Structures are given as structure tokens and as C-alpha cells.
Amino acid sequence: MTKLNAGDAMPETTLVGPDGPVQLRDRIGKPLVVYFYPKDETYGCTKEACSFRDQYEDFIAAGAEVIGISRDDAESHRKFRENHRLPFTLLSDPRGEVAERWGVRAPLGIPGRSTFVFDKAGVVRHRFDANLRFGKHVDEALAIVKSLV
């Protein structure tokens, strides 16, 4: 397992989107917040997603895009987005391969919670790992995005 850290370029990464494969590098050109979370509709993941939702306009105003990633499939993501009115993209990493390559792991090998902020060139400017401080992911990501302007 490698670990993607500040200063590293975004690796070639393909995930499953609602309409098929999505290349994350295609999103480069503006700041990008990518957050990994364990599971749709669980307490902490819902709290985190709703925090990103509630500050989404601030991310957009700062020129950034937000993307959430978990192992859940596209149908689970669709329901999660609809249930909580999430305005951002949710992508699937069904076998956890991308999370593994990026070094996202919680204790005991369960899916972890990490947030990455990429600049418009696709370089990691910030990485935050915390499985229990859900709102802190959003606060730190927004502060970094605003500093990139």
C-alpha cells in the first residue's frame, strides 16, 4: 500500500460513476476535494456528507468541485444522494482498490475516511485522515480550497 500525500500528483484513477467509468484526472483544472467514506446511510458518513452539502455553495464559490467515494454501488449512491439532497458526485470503488492505492484505511482494515484537496494542476495540497471527526474534514478542506485562490 502506498500513501498519497501533500505534494504528490493525482495518480491515474478510474472509478464507477452513475453513468459508467469516471477518470478523476479529467476533473483537473480547478481545485478538487475528494473524500473517501466507509458506507452510505451510516451515521458518520451521513453526517459528513450533509456537512459537505451544507457548505457546498462555499466550495463552488471558491471554484472547487466535491466528490465522495465509497465501496457502495451506483444505486446505493443514487438513493443516498436523493435521501439527503446531496448536490455533488458520488463515485464507487467497489473493491476498494483506489482507496488502497491512495492509502485510505481505518484500523482493522475496514474502509477508512480520508479527504484530499487537489489544486488545479492535480497536486495534493492537503490530506486529512480521521474516522470520527466528520465535520473537521469539511472545515479543513474548505480552508485549503480558499487558500488556493
* Res. 1: pLDDT tops 60: no
pLDDT in tens, 32-83: 999 999 999 999 899 999 999 999 999 999 999 999 999 999 999 999 999 9
**In angstroms, rounded to a whole number, what is the distance separating the alpha carbons of residues 149 and 139?**
16
45 classed as catalytic: yes
Cα–Cα distances (Å) from 108 to 34, 48, 54, 111, 112, in that order, read 23, 21, 31, 9, 10
pLDDT in tens, 2-14: 688 899 999 999 9
Looking at 15, 45, 66, 99, which residue is catalytic? 45
